[in-house]
Every structure is written in C-alpha cells, then in structure tokens.
Amino acid sequence: MDLSAPAPASRPALGILARAQDRVAAPRPDGLPVITLAWAQSVNGAITKQRGEPTPLSGPESLELTHRLRSMHAAILVGVGTVLADDPLLSVRLVSGPQPIPVLLDTHLRTPLQARILARTDRHPWIFYAEASRDSIRSLEGAGARLFQVHASDAGLDLAEVLRVMWAEGARSVMVEGGAKVLRAFFASGFPAAAAVTIAPFSMEGLTLAEESGGGTGSGPVLRHTVSEIHGRDVVLWGELGP
C-alpha cells in the first residue's frame, strides 16, 4: 500500500448557507415551492416558555444566519398564533439582501389591524384564510394585505393548496418559521423539506414540537444528511427532513 498516495477525493462538506442556496436554486418539478423549516429551541426542545409568550432563544450570531437564510427565500410563513404572540415583522434586518414576502395562515382572519407586519411599507403580507366576515376582509385589504381564500379542515388550512397558490403567484421558495402547530403540520404533511434548527445552550420548561396530545410513540421527523455549525454560543443543525 502506497501511504504517500493522496486520500481518495471526497466531496467537501458544504456549509448550511451553501446547502440552502443549492436547494433554493433547484426548483422542484412538482410546482410546489422549495420548503425550509426553521426554528430555535432550548437544549431540551422548548421553543417558547409557554404558548403565546415571546421567548428570545437565538444569540446574535445564529440570528444573523437566520436572516441570511430568510433573504434566500421568496417568502416567510408563520401561523396566526405566532402573529398574536410575537407580533413579528418577518423581515431581513441583520444582513442586507432581498426581503421575502410575509405569509400568514389565518383561517378566520384574527390578525389584528395593529399587527406590525401590516405597517410594513416594503412588503405587504399575503394572508391565507378560509372563512371571515366582510368587514375583516375589507379592513385587512385596506391595510395592504393580499388575501387568498383556500379550503380548510379541522387540521387547519389546506397546506397543499396554500403552497400551490404561492407557487402560482411566483413564490418559488418558503421558509416556515413556526410556531409549534404550523411546524407540526409541515412535519405531518410529508412535503419534502429541509430544516434549520438553532439550539440555544440552555434548558427551559415550555412548549415543544412534540405532540401535545400524548400517547404516541414519540416518533417524529428525522433529519438526514445533517451538517452542524457553531454560531456564537448556539449550534445550528441543518438536514433534510425524512420519515
């Protein structure tokens, strides 16, 4: 054996941003946007202290990575629970780059007219709903939102329909940022997706992404082809979601 021979060439491991860029640049053949799920959690899996309470988890460095990931996507999607709890802007602020379209899942149009997202002048949110009063529709449209009516079931708005409409409107990629119910719905949907998980180095009691109903086997999504990076005090894990 020739020990002086170079080791067989192996593909260098791509970092998180390069992997995300690769996925976003390769449109899916089935006409659905490329999906990235992103959330921050404590070491023991809590994403917030309790439902409805905003809880900062990411340090500045991992937050910057999140904003870079945001700016690669055409849209950022959250559920109305997150709008009510966090009143987020869903904008790219910590880096320079394109601003994705904010997208809300809001079956009965509970988004308050005072929500900060409606005050944005650069990007007006797209709000998906199923059933709402004429007044709410008129007020939100008056505040600049684009409303899309889709079907709903007990599980919420029909995600496949939401994604198809987004694609038809030109959104080729979406970063899904929560909260718990929306992320669980995407886990359960089986849509191909990658996940970017920020793990903050502390434990905290609170709401996790595990099902609240209990009684299950605890099996959930698995990340494959993972890569991890340290960003400041946090670990960020990236992987493709699998069964």
Ligand X SMILES: NC(=O)c1ccc[n+]([C@@H]2O[C@H](COP(=O)([O-])OP(=O)(O)OC[C@H]3O[C@@H](n4cnc5c(N)ncnc54)[C@H](OP(=O)(O)O)[C@@H]3O)[C@@H](O)[C@H]2O)c1
Comparison of 24 and 129: residue with beta carbon closer to ligand X: 129
* Closest distance of CB 38 from ligand X, Å: 7
* In the complex, minimum distance from the CB of residue 140 to ligand X, in angstroms, rounded to a whole number: 14
Q: Would you say 27 or 185 has its CB closer to ligand X?
A: 185
Q: What ranges make up the beta strands (E) of 2-140?
A: 34-42, 46-48, 75-79, 101-105, 126-129
CB of 49 to ligand X, least distance (A): 8
Crossing angle between the packed helical segments 180-189 and 159-168, to the nearest 10 degrees: 90
For the chain, where are the alpha helices, taking DSSP H only? 16-25, 60-72, 80-86, 134-142, 159-168, 180-189
Judged by beta carbon, residue 72 or residue 177, the one nearer ligand X is 177
Structural Rg of the chain based on CA atoms: 19
Q: Residue 65 CB, nearest distance to ligand X (Å)?
A: 13
> Which residue bears the tokens 């359960």?
188
Q: Which is nearer to ligand X, 34 or 127 (CB)?
A: 127
- Which chain residues interact with ligand X by CB under 6 A? 39-40, 47-48, 51-54, 57, 78-82, 85-86, 105-108, 110, 155-157, 159, 177-182, 185
**Helix or strand run (H / E) with residue 208:** strand 207-208
CA angle, 75 then 76 then 81, to 5°: 145
Between 62 and 71, CB nearer to ligand X: 62
| Whole-angstrom distance, CA of residue 202 vs CA of residue 193 | 27
Closest approach of ligand X to the CB of residue 53, in Å: 6
